[in-house]
Amino acid sequence: MKLKKRLIFVLLASLLILGLTACGNKDDGKKATDSGDGKLSTASNSDAKSPDNDLVIAIEGSINSLDPANIGDTNSIATTRGMFENLVKFDENQKMVGQLAKSWEISEDSLTYTFKLNEGIKFHDGTDFNAEAVKANYDRVIDKDNELRQRRTFVETKDDGTESFRVESIETPDDYTVVFKLTEPWSPFLNRLSQFCIVSPKAIEEFGNDIMNNPVGTGPFKYVEWEQGSHTKMVKNEDYWGEKPGVDSVTVKEVGEAGSRTAMLQTGEADFVYPMTSDQLAAVEDAEDINILKNDSNIMRFVALNKLIPELSDVRVRQAMNYAIDKEAFVQLMYSGYAKPATSAVPSIIEGYVEQEGYDYDLEKAKELMKEAGYEDGFKLTIWGDNTTQEIKGMTFIKQQLEQIGIEVEVLPMEEATRNDKIYVEKEEAEVNMWYVNWSASDFTMDSSMRALLYSTMIPPTNANSAYFQNEEFDKLLDEGLKTADTEKQNELYAKAQKIVWDEAPWLFLGNDQIIYATKSYLSGVYVAPDGAFNFANAKLAQ
Amino acid sequence: MLRYSIKRILSIIPLLLVISFLIFMFVHMIPGDPAKMITGPDATKAEVELVREQLGLNKPLLTQYKEYMTGLVKGDLGMSVKNNKTVADTIVPRLKPTIMLTISSMIWATIIGIGIGIVSAIKHGKTLDYIGMIIAISGISIPGFWLGLQLIQKFSVVLGWFPTGGLESWQSYVLPSLTMGAGIMAVLARFTRSSMLETMREGYIRTARAKGLSEKFVVMKHAFRNSLIEIITVAGLQIGGLLSGSVMAETVFSIPGLGRLLVDSINFRDYKVVQALLLFFALEYIVINLVVDLLYGVINPKVRYD
């Protein structure tokens, strides 16, 4: 009798577990195939129609602010681009084009930038867009009391509190001409202006620094509401000066969990989800009404090696460590192949990138270099990084790889603010050995891709050069690059700089991510730029 | 009873004072600098210092605490450094989703949990008991995160009955409340069962049965009623946990509630919001405990308050 009851118990328990696992995602081993044109999988059901004309975007992470002059995170930047516009912008092919400015000229000495503005444009509150509006925005941004992040585009503040202005003057000779005069040539200026959004001067006056809750621009969509931690809603700007938006409204929903985002796409509650994590692809790649797309990114993944650590001060050790990392395996393990092994200190989509040679996976060579450096028996190091599952997985991979050449690695995941507290300290107090991190330059310039992380003066506590890499020749090349407007000459300088970094190996060069996103088949005109900023200005839903 | 109630309510004040001090100190002891979070990673030391000064973070901790308490007494919780709104304006819109979810989870979890517990106790050692306990063990052992995602997959994606997330209609509450309530249902089922079994072994139950009272009467009037005090104590503690521990369900179902706000605020080192939320959760625990204590007297008039 007792045995019978136990049997019933076991049977019931097994049924319950089977029932629950049957609800799980079906993974029959199929994998999205890469067609090479940026599409991983194309929907077959082309007759699909949108249930309404409202675009819903589900994103990971949160919107931190809607004040375009005071944001640094990609999601907030991408969302505000629906409501605000810049003088110039990058188009879908990463080419610089005019937006509020119809044309521009750069003087031969690279000191004067003259913009001719488009006429007849109005802000959402009905005020006119003109040269004065541009000046009002510039004035707002450089005002120290406003403490806006974008101030750093125009003013360089040093640690001792002194400041140098990059722009000597801004002039408005007529209503539709703006002239920026720089104090000295600064090649990233135009790229930086592609992030300088123009806010309505009336709104600036009325709301001051509460623009974050009252965004008024000239863009294709007008602000409706922003509920933090939930969503941001915009409606079509009926009076938009350019091509009218194809959708009636846009809602950007914050959905942190990847599985929930995928489910939203499957049920049609979202029309566009970003990012699509590689482990979620199997759930939707056979769906008849879902397109999966990919794009190369400007995200550089690396491990900074602190040169202040005696063992890491030897270039042979750093090179040995690079030889010990199987980058192909890294890309497969971490991103299911949707990333590219790093071949320079900068991602391949940055203008001036040059593919470097060496650091193919070669354990023999690595061991040889370790022996030469006198560390045949290895040594111990710690690696710091974020405490997310993905980052811990990455650090564990590095640990396993380096142990092959005798380097014992302790993985120390840390919450972001805590880790920043430990990284950004005075040089004498630096404790970091290795930092598993990633970086992307939102202005896509070679200078931004390297300066903050490798330039001599950019060492902590202020900046992120946690490799404590200091190389005079490299600094000189970056400085010259900054002062040159001639792209060809600039590329030559940056080619040399990349070679120095590669040979000196202040980092473990790991890879460049690929961005994966998915849309309903009835949605067109949306894309995710290489910096991870989604773009919905030209979105259309088939009705 | 009245005197006891007043005494208990008044005792909350010193308790809250101590808690507020501990919360303030712990929050300020977390590594990480709000000024650095506001100014961004590429800010200079001078810029960070300026913000620290504006936020009053360069003052001694005790002075900051004094200022915080002075504001608190006046009903001013301070400003959130993240969104340029007052702490009250930040928290209030997040209250409703979490409270609604807590209540809906608690209602079904209590009814079903206690129901399963009673049936299991009555049918002790029989098939129904096993089924009840399998449900209870599953409720405790299945991770909420996984359960939530499976419910979305089955009931939203495959069947299309409920939305995947958000809180727009009553349907939106079903899946998250199932996810949040599963563990509590299980705890209550197991607790009710064991408590009932223990009571049913007591002499007075045997006496009641010997007196010829109906089994239903014996179970509900004698056994269940006497187990109720313990069940309510456990249920009270569970509600407290639900309100502050809703992070998981709010994340899976993209609900802008208090749990997610707490995590976001900790990540951003938004001290004022974190302090206010922790204080709110502490107060809620205290109030629930008080209600539970007072309920003892209602359930069992023999309980005396001195």
**Strand segments (E) across A243-352:** 249-254, 272-274, 290-305, 339-341
Q: What is the per-residue pLDDT across B42-97, written as a single tens digit (0 to 9) for each?
A: 777 777 888 888 888 888 999 999 999 999 888 888 889 888 889 999 999 999 99
**CA-only gyration radius of chain A, Å:** 26
CA gap A537, A99 in Å, rounded: 13
Supply the pLDDT for residue A455. Answer: 93
DSSP string, chain B: -HHHHHHHHHHHHHHHHHHHHHHHHHHHHSSS-HHHHHH-TT--HHHHHHHHHHHTTTS-HHHHHHHHHHHHHTT---B-TTTSSBHHHHHHHHHHHHHHHHHHHHHHHHHHHHHHHHHHHHTTTSHHHHHHHHHHHHHHHS-HHHHHHHHIIIIIIIS--S-SSS-SSTHHHHHHHHHHHHHHHHHHHHHHHHHHHHHHTSHHHHHHHHTT--HHHIIIIIIIHHHHHHHHHHHHHHHHHHHHTTHHHHHHTT---HHHHHHHHHHTT-HHHHHHHHHHHHHHHHHHHHHHHHHHHHH-TT----
Residue A357 CB contacts under 8 Å (≥ 6 apart), including other chains: none
Supply the pLDDT for residue A1. Answer: 46
**Strand-pair partners of A513:** A339
Q: What is the per-residue pLDDT across A1-30, written as a single tens digit (0 to 9) for each?
A: 454 555 555 555 555 554 544 444 444 434
Q: How far is CA A232 from CA A51, A222, A336, in A?
A: 20, 11, 32
Confidence grade of residue A141 (pLDDT, cut at 50, 70, 90): very high
pLDDT beyond 80 at A290: yes
Greater confidence (B249 vs B221) lies with B249
The two three-digit tokens of residue A65, written as one number: 């602010």
CA gap A194, A338 in Å, rounded: 28
8 Å CB contact between A317 and A375: yes
Instruction: Count CB atoms within 10 A of the CB of residue A7.
Output: 10
Residues of chain B positioned with their CB less than 8 A from the CB of A5:
125, 127, 130
Selected for mutation to probe chain A from B38, B42, B44 (highest A CB count within 10 Å) is B44
Task: Give a three-class secondary structure readout of A474-508.
Answer: HHHHHHHHHHCCCHHHHHHHHHHHHHHHHHHCCEE
Q: Which CATH superfamily is domain A85-208 in?
A: Dipeptide-binding Protein; Domain 1 (3.90.76.10)
Which CATH number, 3.40.190.10, 3.40.50.300, 1.20.80.10, 1.10.40.30, labels domain A33-60+220-296+516-541? 3.40.190.10
Supply the pLDDT for residue A147. Answer: 84
Confidence grade of residue A45 (pLDDT, cut at 50, 70, 90): low
Supply the pLDDT for residue A425. Answer: 87
* DSSP-derived 3-state class of residue A397: helix
Supply the pLDDT for residue A30. Answer: 41
The two three-digit tokens of residue B68, written as one number: 């915080």
Of B39, B130, B261, the CB nearest to A12: B130
- Backbone φ and ψ for A117, nearest 5 degrees, come out as -95, 155
The two three-digit tokens of residue A476, written as one number: 């000189």
A127 to chain B nearest CA, in Å? 25
B127 and chain A in contact, CB less than 8 A: yes
pTM reported for the whole predicted model: 0.85
Supply the pLDDT for residue A520. Answer: 94
Supply the pLDDT for residue A32. Answer: 55
Selected for mutation to probe chain B from A59, A160, A266, A451 (highest B CB count within 10 Å) is A266
Task: Enumerate residues 174 to 203 of chain B having a beta carbon within 8 A of any beta carbon in chain A.
Answer: none
Q: Where in chain A is the domain with CATH 3.90.76.10?
A: 85-208
CA gap A515, A39 in Å, rounded: 11
8 Å CB contact between A189 and A170: no
Supply the pLDDT for residue B306. Answer: 59
CA gap B173, B175 in Å, rounded: 6
Q: What is the per-residue pLDDT across A190-229, written as a single tens digit (0 to 9) for each?
A: 999 999 999 999 999 999 889 999 999 999 999 999 988 8
Instruction: Count CB atoms within 10 A of the CB of residue A9.
Output: 16
Kind of pairing between the strands at A249-254 and A54-59: parallel
Rounded mean pLDDT of A124-152? 93
Rounded mean pLDDT of A247-257? 94
* DSSP-derived 3-state class of residue A99: coil
CA gap A505, A119 in Å, rounded: 51
pLDDT beyond 60 at A540: yes
Confidence grade of residue A159 (pLDDT, cut at 50, 70, 90): low
Q: Are the beta carbons of B150 and A210 separated by less than 8 Å?
A: no
Which CATH number, 1.25.10.10, 1.20.210.10, 3.40.640.10, 3.10.105.10, labels domain A298-513? 3.10.105.10
Supply the pLDDT for residue B34. Answer: 85
Supply the pLDDT for residue A25. Answer: 44
Residue A141's H or E segment, with its range, is helix A131-142
Supply the pLDDT for residue A37. Answer: 63
Greater confidence (A24 vs B201) lies with B201
Supply the pLDDT for residue B268. Answer: 86
A4 to chain B nearest CA, in Å? 10
Measured in whole angstroms, how far is the alpha carbon of residue B277 from the centre of its chain? Answer: 12
Mean pLDDT (chain A) is: 89
Core vs surface per residue A126-155: b (16+ CB within 10 A) or e: eebbbbebbebbbebbbeeebbbbbbbbbe
DSSP string, A41-85: E--S-TT---SSSEEEEEESS----S-GGG--SHHHHHHHTTT--
Task: With CA atoms as reference, report the closest residue to A185 among A168, A197, A171.
Answer: A168
Residue identified by tokens 């040169």 is A307
Alpha-carbon torsion B267, B270, B276, B279, what sign?
positive
pLDDT beyond 50 at A524: yes
CA gap A350, A94 in Å, rounded: 10
B288 to chain A nearest CA, in Å? 28
Confidence grade of residue B214 (pLDDT, cut at 50, 70, 90): confident
Percent of chain A with pLDDT over 70: 92
CA gap A214, A212 in Å, rounded: 6
Rounded mean pLDDT of A55-81? 92
Q: What is the per-residue pLDDT across B141-198, written as a single tens digit (0 to 9) for each?
A: 888 889 999 999 999 999 999 999 888 888 899 999 999 999 999 999 999 998 888 8
Task: Enumerate residues 51 to 70 of chain B having a beta carbon within 8 A of any beta carbon in chain A.
Answer: 51
B86 to chain A nearest CA, in Å? 13
Q: What is the per-residue pLDDT across A337-379, written as a single tens digit (0 to 9) for each?
A: 889 999 999 999 998 999 999 899 999 999 999 999 999 999 9
Of chain B, the end-to-end C-alpha distance in Å amounts to 8
Q: What is the per-residue pLDDT across B227-268, written as a single tens digit (0 to 9) for each?
A: 888 888 888 888 888 877 788 899 899 999 999 899 889 888
Residues of chain A positioned with their CB less than 8 A from the CB of B84:
209-210, 212-213
Q: What is the DSSP letter of A194?
A: T
Supply the pLDDT for residue B303. Answer: 67
Residue type (1 letter), A261: R
Residues of chain B positioned with their CB less than 8 A from the CB of A458:
none
Q: How many CB pairs lie under 8 A apart between chains A and B? A: 145
Q: Are the beta carbons of A420 and B36 separated by less than 8 Å?
A: yes
Q: Are the beta carbons of B44 and A157 separated by less than 8 Å?
A: yes
Of B130, B154, B260, the CB nearest to A8: B130
Residues of chain B positioned with their CB less than 8 A from the CB of A8:
127, 130
CA gap A163, A160 in Å, rounded: 9
Q: Are the beta carbons of B46 and A161 separated by less than 8 Å?
A: yes
Supply the pLDDT for residue A487. Answer: 85
DSSP string, B260-301: HHHHHHHHTT-HHHHHHHHHHHHHHHHHHHHHHHHHHHHH-T
Q: Are the beta carbons of A147 and B36 separated by less than 8 Å?
A: no
Residue type (1 letter), B298: V
The two three-digit tokens of residue A311, written as one number: 């063992």
Where does A324-388 have alpha helices with state H? Answer: 327-335, 363-372
Core vs surface per residue A267-302: b (16+ CB within 10 A) or e: bbbbbbbbbbbbebbbbbbebebbbbbbbbbbbbbb
Q: How far is CA A470 from CA A339, A359, A449, A465, in A?
A: 29, 22, 16, 9
- Dihedral (Cα; B81, B86, B89, B90), 10-degree rounding: 20
Residues of chain A positioned with their CB less than 8 A from the CB of B37:
417
Residue identified by tokens 């563990």 is B183
Q: Where in chain A is the domain with CATH 3.40.190.10?
A: 33-60+220-296+516-541
Task: With CA atoms as reference, report the closest residue to A17 among B277, B150, B71, B253.
Answer: B150
CA gap A322, A363 in Å, rounded: 10
Task: With CA atoms as reference, report the closest residue to A353 among A362, A338, A342, A365.
Answer: A342
B30 and chain A in contact, CB less than 8 A: yes
Reported as half-sphere exposure (CB side, CA atoms, 13 A), residue A401 has a value of 26
Residue A497 CB contacts under 8 Å (≥ 6 apart), including other chains: A446, A450, A474, A477, A478, A481
